[in-house]
Amino acid sequence: MDKNKMLERRFREGMRYLYDEEFKAEKQRIFEMKEQYRDLPIKDWPDFTVRWSLEKADQHYAFDGLDPESFFEEYPEGLRVIESVKIAELDDRLHSVSRQHPDEFWKIGWVGSKAEIILHFVENKALTPPLVCIHNGNLLYIGGGNQRLAVARAKGEEAIPILVKPSEYDKVIDILNCRS
């Protein structure tokens, strides 16, 4: 991926904060609205459904900030989807840095991101599933979407879809012992 192109794209995105009033207003609305969920005990969360977007056009969000142009330069065919993975089985195969227990929900990770994810789900928005990658042969780690997975786990979801790099798909399938 061309670093100059990536920097140019990030610059353009940054300029939206300066000149796009609608964009700024929406970012401000999200910033203010998510605060009601920060540090809220899980038992007090509002009712919401965890919804996932499996659209190829949304897959760049799995990389937590990668712009669409850079994503499709790197992955012209997109990522592979495994439509249903039991969270307990995924947790059993995750490297310790990617595991979070619901009791730790507000103690580790990005609290603001978790609150924002809850807000998006409350507003019935679909988010990109976590990106699962291979670590040292037979372990997995979350390459993007740790907070999304943490919210789904804390909400009590039993299974979720995951995204996988095409080059790692077969190995991830073997590690998880599943077929999609």
Question: Which pLDDT tens digits describe the chain residue by residue (180 residues)?
Answer: 566 766 776 676 766 667 778 888 988 999 999 999 999 999 999 999 999 999 999 999 898 777 888 889 889 999 999 999 999 999 999 988 888 888 899 998 899 999 999 999 999 999 999 999 999 888 999 999 999 999 999 999 999 999 999 999 999 999 998 765
pTM for this entry: 0.88
The alpha carbon dihedral of 141, 146, 150, 156 has a sign of negative
pLDDT of the residue at 6: 65
CB environment 122-156: b (16+ within 10 A), e (fewer): beeeebbbbbbbbbeeeebbbbbbbbbbbbbbbee
Among residues 142, 160, 151, the alpha carbon closest in space to that of 117 is found at 151
pLDDT of the residue at 101: 84
Check if the beta carbon of residue 1 is closer than 8 Å to that of residue 75: no
